[in-house]
Amino acid sequence: MYEVFSTDERDAFVPYCLAPDVDWPNVADGVRLHGHAEVRAYWAAQFETMHPLVRLDGLRLDEDGSRVVATVRPGLRDDSGDHWAEEPVEHVYRFGADGLVSRMDVRPLS
């Protein structure tokens, strides 16, 4: 998923990874997005103003075993190259019975 996010193929993979009613964070505006259309629009707006990057540093199960936690380092690409954040964050995923992501949250590294 992270490899595809930074490419032009991200829209095509949405139905294969995200539940139709996925609950997704819009971190910049502090609101939640719901469904494929809202997530696609959010990503399109991001890519209109910059080229965001996300580098996966690790995966683990959360303490209760019901969520997958991805440790990631966010960044962006501009004319001078790739720039990575100083501190990683965690993307926390819940999955539905269909195996698709039903909710994603972003939190500081724990």
Query: Residue 69 in 3-state DSSP?
Result: strand
Residues in the chain, pLDDT under 70: none
pLDDT confidence of residue 89: 96
Domain locations along the chain: 2-108
Counting Cα atoms < 13 Å in the Cβ hemisphere of 46 gives 22
Question: What pTM did the predictor assign?
Answer: 0.89
d(CA 99, CA 86): 32
Query: Residue 44 in 3-state DSSP?
Result: helix
2-108 has which fold? Nuclear Transport Factor 2; Chain: A, (3.10.450)
Per-residue model confidence as pLDDT tens digits over 96-107: 999 999 999 999
pLDDT confidence of residue 110: 76
